[in-house]
Each structure stands twice: as structure tokens, then as C-alpha cells.
Amino acid sequence: MFTVYHFSSKCIPGLYNMSKRQLLLLSSSKVHGHGFLEYAENDICDLLSEHNVTSVLFVPYALRNHDKYLKKVQQPFKKWGFQVDGIHSENPLEAVGKAQAIFIGGGNTFRLLKTLYDLNLVKAIRKRVLEDGIPYIGASAGTNVATVSINTTNDMPIVYPPSFEALNLVPFNINPHYQDPDLTSTHKGETREERILEYLEEKESYPVLGLREGCTLHVKNNTAILKGIRSARLFSKEQKPREFDVGSDLSFLLKDQY
């Protein structure tokens, strides 16, 4: 029997207005023409340096081989002057409790969220980010779990988490790796846009920000700015999808009433 968790903003009045969020939510860690995390190097370094971070806690649970994943992440951070420690190398709750910053990488979102629940890390991470104000960096699956729920992930449900509700660091959903329809393709399957619109048909649904490869959303307290090298597409219930260029202010997405 599974426990059902409810962490939506509707259940926690004023949560977002009182938060101390410092988030970088990346569509992906790998972008064509760039090295691993390279396109977001300046944004990552600025965020960590601004908060005097010297060591980052990496959460590799979206992939099976944690040690291999850790070594891959350590390479660019070491070049930038930051130490990276794996949460799997020590007591996870204690590691979160003393972390200066948290980075959750990509992989399978269902595997990631299930592990966070299994290790009782969902509330612990949320507390450190929203109450203590430590920087949070997410890429792909790590961005998915930063939102209200993982309902708009692109991944296959290879495992079953006790709930689709996630860290709830922002009161909307994200679709990383968003792809526009290929008008020259003969493929007749559903497009990414059609799948997102199907999600929005549900009564309990939230706006979905489609982050194309190379997109980064920078959330600082109650402001949200689109950064990176690509535009983003926003889907909202009973509204036409809207395009937002790099530099756009998306702070309206952080308001509960929206």
C-alpha cells in the first residue's frame, strides 16, 4: 500500500511568497555544440559565487551508476573551482542538512522521485531550499522534480513513486527538452505540444513551461527570468501557447493565483 503525499501550494498558503528561492532550472545538461553543462557555466558560477558556495551536494539518483555519474559532474565543477560530493557517499539526510548547495542531475524522473521519497528527502530538500535559501540547480529530471509534479516529464515510468507530486519549489510544471513539431516529418504520433495540452485538460493541472534545449529558468525569491540560449513556450489552461525570448520576466508564474 502506498502513502499519498500532498504538497501543492494550495495546501501551504503563502509558501511561495515567504520563500528564499535561489534556483537554476536547466532543460538539459547536454546541448548540441557545447560540453557538459557548458552553456550554463556563467549562470551556475554566478549563482554559487554569489552565495559563497565552495562545495555542491550532487544527487545522482536519476541514473543507476551513481559513482560514474558523480565523476562526470565533478569534472566541469572542478574546472570552475567548486568541489562536488555525492549524496550517496554518506547519510543522505545528514548530507542535505549540511549542504551549501544542491544539484540534481538528469536521467529517469520516476526513478529519481521514487528514490527521494524512499530516503525521506523530499521534505528535507524543500526545507533547505525554501527556508534556508541554499542554491538549487536542476537539469532535466532534476528540473522536473523541482516543480509541482512530474506529470509533464518525457520519461518512461520504469518504477512507481508513491506520488507524482514533487519538491514543489515553484507552483507550476516544466517540460524539459521541449521540441517543436517537425512540419517536414511523416511521423503521425502525438507532438510534445499535444501531450501537454492533454495534461491541461485534467482538472488538477498547472501551467507548463516548455524549456527547449539550452533554456535555463533563474528563480530568485519571487522573480523568474528566462536565461540560456533558446526561447521557451508556455502552456496554460484555456489559453493559446505563448512564446518567451531569453531575458523575459516570467515572475507572474510564481504567483499562487496564477
Q: Which residues are catalytic?
A: 140, 155, 177
Collect all residues with Cβ–Cβ distance below 8 Å to 146 and sequence separation of at least 6. Answer: 23, 25, 104, 136, 138, 166, 167, 169, 170, 174
Phi, psi of 72 (to 5 degrees): -65, -40
Phi, psi of 112 (to 5 degrees): -60, -50
| No. of helices (H) and no. of strands (E), the chain | 8, 11
DSSP 181-202: --TT----SPPHHHHHHHHHTS
CA neighbours closer than 13 Å in the CB half-sphere of residue 157: 8
Query: Could you give the CA distance from residue 26 to residue 144 in angstroms, rounded to a whole number?
Result: 10
Query: Could you give the CA distance from residue 216 to residue 34 in angstroms, rounded to a whole number?
Result: 15
* Short-list 68, 78, 134, 76, CA closest to 107: 68
Query: Could you give the CA distance from residue 87 to residue 59 in angstroms, rounded to a whole number?
Result: 6
